[in-house]
Amino acid sequence: MKKTVAILLAGIFIFNWFGYRLVSYYLEQQANVKLQARLDSNNYDEADLISLKVPANLPYYTNSRHYQRVDGEIEINGVHYNYVKRRLYNDSLEYLCIPNKARMSIKNASDEFFKLVNDLQRSTQNKKPGSETGVFKNLLTEFYEDADLWCAAPPFSSQTKTLPFYLFPISSQFLLPQEQPPDA
């Protein structure tokens, strides 16, 4: 009985560790496959298409009045778009894209699950601005040693500056040159 419970808890731990990422990746890929099948069969609303224009600096090209089917994707401001059609017209490459809503909903659900599993919601809600009680702050203040290194300078000479033990003088070979680089 103990062995079964241990295996079950280890399985839950491994799933929480990286299993949900694999599941969300698989679901995103399935959503992409379904969207590609819809796009290949022209089963989409033309009003949902968004036009993107990219300048094309090509020496020789021929204008195309008709769009051709293309596959690919782009992310703009956190929104995933899939390419539907493209054409080379005048001096730009024009893409017609459609937002991938299924992928975005899966991605948002995965992010929410990650926050829920790792208890990120509660810790950010209870945190007051300016109060930082983290592990890193405690480690840095606990193990910081302010060692005074004294250098005895001969009298009437330029004073030498003492450095803490964690700062080393920078060699002159690593300093930036003090001159203007030539124009290209």
User: How many Cβ atoms are within 10 Å of 89's Cβ, its own excluded?
Assistant: 16
Rounded Cα distance, 34 and 103, in Å: 10
Rounded Cα distance, 163 and 149, in Å: 7
Within a domain: 161: no
Within a domain: 179: no
pTM given for the model: 0.55
pLDDT higher at 57 or 160: 57
pLDDT of residue 85: 92
**First-to-last CA distance in the chain?**
75
Give the rounded percent of residues in the chain with a pLDDT score beyond 90: 16
Please compute the mean of the pLDDT values over residues 80-84 and round it to a whole number.
90
Within a domain: 71: yes
pLDDT of residue 17: 77
Q: Are 101 and 82 in contact (CB under 8 A)?
A: no
Within a domain: 20: yes
Band of pLDDT at residue 3, cut at 50, 70 and 90: very high
- What average pLDDT does the structure give for the chain? 76
Within a domain: 75: yes
The answer to whether residue 147 scores a pLDDT higher than 70 is no
pLDDT of residue 45: 87
Reported as a single tens digit per residue, the pLDDT across 8-67 is 999 988 887 788 888 889 999 999 999 999 988 988 888 889 998 988 887 887 888 888
Cα angle 94, 67, 54; round to 5: 10
pLDDT of residue 65: 87
Within a domain: 181: no
Q: How many CA atoms lie within 13 A of 44 on its CB side?
A: 24
Within a domain: 146: no
pLDDT of residue 181: 67
Within a domain: 41: yes
Rounded Cα distance, 45 and 49, in Å: 7
Range of the domain at 71: 2-120
| Domains identified in the chain, total number | 1
pLDDT of residue 78: 82
Q: Are 102 and 34 in contact (CB under 8 A)?
A: yes
